[in-house]
Amino acid sequence: MSNTIMSDRFYFAPETLSLINKYSGSTFVIKYGGSAMQNTLLQSQVIKDLSLLYFLGINIVVVHGGGIFINDWLHKLNIKPEFQNGVRITNSETIEIAEMVLVGKINKQLVSLFNQNHLVPVGLSGKDANLIQASPMFKSPNNFTGQVDSVNPQLLRLLLSNRFIPVIASIASDVSGKTYNINADTIASSIASELNAEKLILITDTPGILRDVQDPSSLIKNLTLGTIDSLISQGIISGGMIPKIKSCVDALQSNVKSVHIIDGRLQHSILYELLTYDRVGSMIVL
């Protein structure tokens, strides 16, 4: 199965049943973001595939971004988006828009899609039950770009034990109640680490880690931490991919068994990546 040409149906491979048996009862943390979220048909298909994993007995936690939708609103308000080393710079104007879009729009849209598939999602942000304790990433009074200080997993464990699906927007607050926008990869990694998840899965708008960003066929399907260090030193992993990879490494060093980066624009890429040996994205292990 090519990583560039996917069937519109998922077919069980000889190994699928054994993989279902292996993962049933385990926890997968999924970060959902990228331009794939713009396509409503693809978004619906991603949620259906995650729903199948749930019905197969896998505990699902979804953390979502929505930067492309934040940018749309910023453009409507004539505010220029700013980034530094692949991280959004969030000022006092931007944070209100980010919270409105991520918590008020995208989160409820994803919850509604899970509802349509007869599941029991619970929409959250990092603020709820002090799920995420944040702190500023940059020292500036007008800085609302945050980082994760700690995760309070009690609510998540309660929800998962009762077969609810937490759907978490990447907004959190600090001890004083100040609101921060946090990179969704970072939150997903922190939650996966705290829950000792079997897998952290980053659903994005790239095929995975490529040796040549212009060539999808240069996908590197299997990597280790040593490989990652080499690719960074060669400049193959650079720019906005570096903070994403750092989140992957942090998770692996905190007992998450494997991390997958897959293309959410390809139909059923989640199922082919996780329930067959036919890798369609990049998998990183220790």
Q: pLDDT by residue (tens digit) across 69-78?
A: 999 999 999 9
> Is residue 187 over pLDDT 60?
yes
pLDDT digits (tens, 9 = 90+) for 218-247: 999 999 999 999 999 999 998 888 889 999
Instruction: Report residue 54: phi and psi, to 5°.
Output: -60, -45
Has residue 4 got a pLDDT over 70?
Answer: no
What's the rounded Cα separation, in Å, for the pair 241 and 2? 23
Q: Which residues on neighbouring strands pair with residue 223, listed in sequence order?
A: 284
Q: What is the mean pLDDT of residues 84-88?
A: 78
Amino acid in position 101 = V
Could you tell me if residue 2 is inside a domain?
Answer: no
* Nearest-5° Cα angle at 64, 61 to 67: 170
Q: What is the CATH number of the domain that holds 158?
A: 3.40.1160.10
pLDDT for 5 equals: 42
Tell whether residue 281 is among the known ligand binding residues.
no
d(CA 245, CA 71): 23
Is residue 181 annotated as involved in ligand binding?
A: yes
3-state secondary structure (DSSP) of residue 209: coil
C-alpha–C-alpha distance, residues 206 and 74, integer Å: 24
Q: Is residue 8 part of a domain?
A: no
Q: Does residue 182 lie within any of the structural domains?
A: yes
- Whether 9 maps to a domain, the answer reads no
Average pLDDT along the chain:
93
Query: Does 211 appear as a known binding residue?
Result: no
77: its two tokens: 């308000």
Q: Is 268 inside a domain boundary?
A: yes
Query: What is the mean pLDDT of the segment spanning 135-154?
Result: 93
pTM of the model: 0.94
57 is in an annotated binding site: no
> What pLDDT score does 7 carry?
62
Q: Has residue 248 been placed in a domain?
A: yes
Domain that holds residue 48: 25-284
Q: Is residue 3 part of a domain?
A: no
Work out how many domains the chain is built from and give that number.
1
Give the pLDDT band of residue 91 (cuts 50, 70, 90): very high
Q: What is the pLDDT of residue 243?
A: 87
Is there a domain that residue 164 lies in? yes
pLDDT band for 6, please (50, 70, 90 cuts).
Answer: low
pLDDT in tens, 99-118: 999 999 999 999 999 999 99
Question: For residues 87 and 44, what is the distance between their CA atoms, to the nearest angstrom?
Answer: 27
